[in-house]
Amino acid sequence: MKKGILVVLLAAIAFAAYWFLIRKTENGFSGEKQVAIAIKKHSDKFNTSVSTMMSAYFDMQNAFVLADTSNAKESCKKFIALIDSVDFNELKDDSAAVIQNAKLFFTDAKANAVSLLTQTDITEMRKDFNMVSDILYPAFKSINYNGPTMYYQNCPMAFGEDKGANWISSTKEIINPYMGKNHPEYKGSMLHCGEVKDSL
């Protein structure tokens, strides 16, 4: 009987030694500090060109808040010109597929911005602005954007009930470019209608 208890006790000690000394090391719990994966950073040149392009976008957004179609178009022209100035060769650390996708996203954004310039009705202009915004959002995700923080925001009733629209803002505060300060029905009461969906 004593021999049986001794065998069980030795087996338990051997198992504990295996678990705490050998098994922990096998699973990476050796007590060594784990090194975090380095976050990829783009060049200052690339980040500056994107930030400058987005300044024109934000000017366009602010013009829509004021229902100022003239300034919206002027800002849109600057935005289009600045898209062409983004140097995708600065994404050299990314894969060729990522760079190609980024170029396609920005080309599509430019096409919708050009369409905005042809519109005469502010609602149609805002619809093109929404398209530009919806293209820029995945574009920034695809390139792992690391410039100043921006916020992807949504108004659930931009074009009527259940017809929402999105935009990108430089601040968390909701200043709705679809409802604006001078909406024909709501006036300025819906200026802060919306929510932050994501940050970039």
pLDDT the model gives residue 124: 97
In angstroms, the CA 83 to CA 64 distance is 20
pLDDT the model gives residue 96: 81
* pLDDT, averaged in runs of 10, over the chain (200 residues): 46 45 42 42 84 97 98 98 87 76 92 97 97 95 85 95 94 96 89 95
Residue 101's alpha-carbon distances to 52, 105, 139, in angstroms, are 21, 6, 8
In angstroms, the CA 110 to CA 21 distance is 60
pLDDT the model gives residue 37: 35
Buried b (16+ CB within 10 A) or exposed e, 154-189: bbebbeeeeeebbbbbeeeebbbbbbbeebeeeeee
For residue 86, what are its two tokens? 């983004």
In angstroms, the CA 132 to CA 197 distance is 17
In angstroms, the CA 126 to CA 94 distance is 33
Domain regions of the chain by residue span = 44-199
In angstroms, the CA 45 to CA 51 distance is 10
The CA-based dihedral angle spanning residues 48, 165, 131, 141, taken in that order and rounded to the nearest 10 degrees: 50
31 exposed, middle or buried (CB, 10 Å; 0-12, 13-18, 19+)? Answer: exposed
In angstroms, the CA 170 to CA 55 distance is 9
Q: Which residues contact 69 (CB under 8 A, 6 or more apart)?
A: 63, 122, 125
Cα angle, residue 148 at apex, residues 144 and 153 outer, rounded to 5°: 80
